[in-house]
Amino acid sequence: FAPNPPTVIMLVGLQGSGKTTTAGKLANIIRKQGKKPLLVACDVYRPAAIKQLEVVGKQLNIPVYSNENSKDVVQISRQAMSMAMSNVVQIAKQAINTAISKLNDVVILDTAGRLQIDEELMNELKNLKQSVKPHEILLVVDSMIGQEAVNIASTFNEELGIDGIVLTKLDGDTRGGAALSVKKVTNRPIKYAATGEKLSDIEEFHPERMASRILGMGDVLSIIEKAEEAFDEEEAIKIEKQLKKKEFDLDDYLVQLKQIKKMGSFSSILKMIPGMNQIKDLKVDDKEFVR
């Protein structure tokens, strides 16, 4: 975080990498650290991109800054491209001024992606970087695309200069290979890993834990952290006493199920238990818990 707020974090990456959802997830983590984040919709090209960020913001009860005039810009000509670029810079600058006036100490810029890396995209991002001088540029990379992630990370780092990486869709243990390559090529840290679709499914990236998961040794430390966050200590002591007295009933069972649900999908928890990923077709339908 910058000594003089607001801290400006710029998220970059290709279309479909999960930038908009990651923006919300990061804002959620930052809020838990006692900060007041502001999400900013800087994607004026993709249909419904602004609406998507607004929906994410509403779900988390985190404010979103967007320019109403940008919502109609979907298909634009090359002639209009320079206008759109200056519009994006204007949106970002207005958002930072809004953050200062409303005492938001972190600004997260959700920038536009493309289906592939192109000169126009890079020019817009360079222009934005030069204009607002973000304190941190995070590249959001889809771990499902395998070694192509290396080319993307390398290009973004050379052209733009990134400070860190967020790996998304890392809910399968076999996808850890891209993490090793991306780190090696860019020499930039992987800061976060998104492990599912829920807005709470993001965690700090720990290399030794990822290695442990890939090798099938589980990840007990992450389970403990998730449990500490999800479980109410007083409730746990109360249930322990009831178990000792043999008074544990279905209401207590329901409380426990709800607390386990806060930790994420049951499948993701099972995968962290040593030896569990060796069981083939290990799938648990979370809807069964509702029943």
Count, residues in the chain:
291
Q: In angstroms, rounded to a whole number, what is the distance separating the alpha carbons of residues 222 and 212? A: 11
Q: In angstroms, rounded to a whole number, what is the distance separating the alpha carbons of residues 44 and 128? A: 13
pLDDT tens, 266-277? 777 777 777 776
HSE of 62, CA atoms in CB hemisphere, 13 A: 30
Residue 7's SS3 state is strand
Q: In angstroms, rounded to a whole number, what is the distance separating the alpha carbons of residues 155 and 143? A: 16
pLDDT tens, 104-155? 999 999 998 877 777 888 888 999 999 999 999 999 988 877 778 888 889 8
- Which residues are registered as beta bridge partners of 37? 106
| pLDDT of 83 | 52
Q: In angstroms, rounded to a whole number, what is the distance separating the alpha carbons of residues 113 and 52? A: 14
pTM, rounded to two decimals: 0.73
Among 173, 202, 195, residue whose Cα is nearest residue 274: 173
Tokens of 144: 């499902």
State the Cα angle at 192 between 189 and 194, rounded to 5°: 140
Q: In angstroms, rounded to a whole number, what is the distance separating the alpha carbons of residues 34 and 28? A: 10
- Burial 242-280, CB ≥16 within 10 A → b, else e: eeeeeeeeeeeeebeeebbeebbbbebbbbbeeeebeee
Q: Residue 65: enclosing H or E segment and its boundaries?
A: strand 64-65
Residue 168: CB atoms within 10 A of its CB come to 25
**What ranges make up the beta strands (E) of 181-281?**
190-194, 202-204
Tokens of 98: 């809004």
Residue 114: CB atoms within 10 A of its CB come to 16
| pLDDT of 251 | 86
> Using an 8 Å Cβ cutoff, are 160 and 14 in contact?
no
Among 221, 200, 219, residue whose Cα is nearest residue 276: 219
| pLDDT of 105 | 94
Q: Which residues of the chain have pLDDT under 50?
A: 72-81, 173
C-alpha to C-alpha distances, 48 to 38, 77, 89, 157, 186, nearest whole angstrom: 19, 19, 19, 28, 32
Residue 196's SS3 state is coil
| pLDDT of 133 | 93
pLDDT tens, 159-180? 999 999 998 887 654 556 677 7
**189: Cβ–Cβ under 8 A, 6 or more apart, which residues?**
164, 165, 183, 205
Q: In angstroms, rounded to a whole number, what is the distance separating the alpha carbons of residues 15 and 140? A: 10
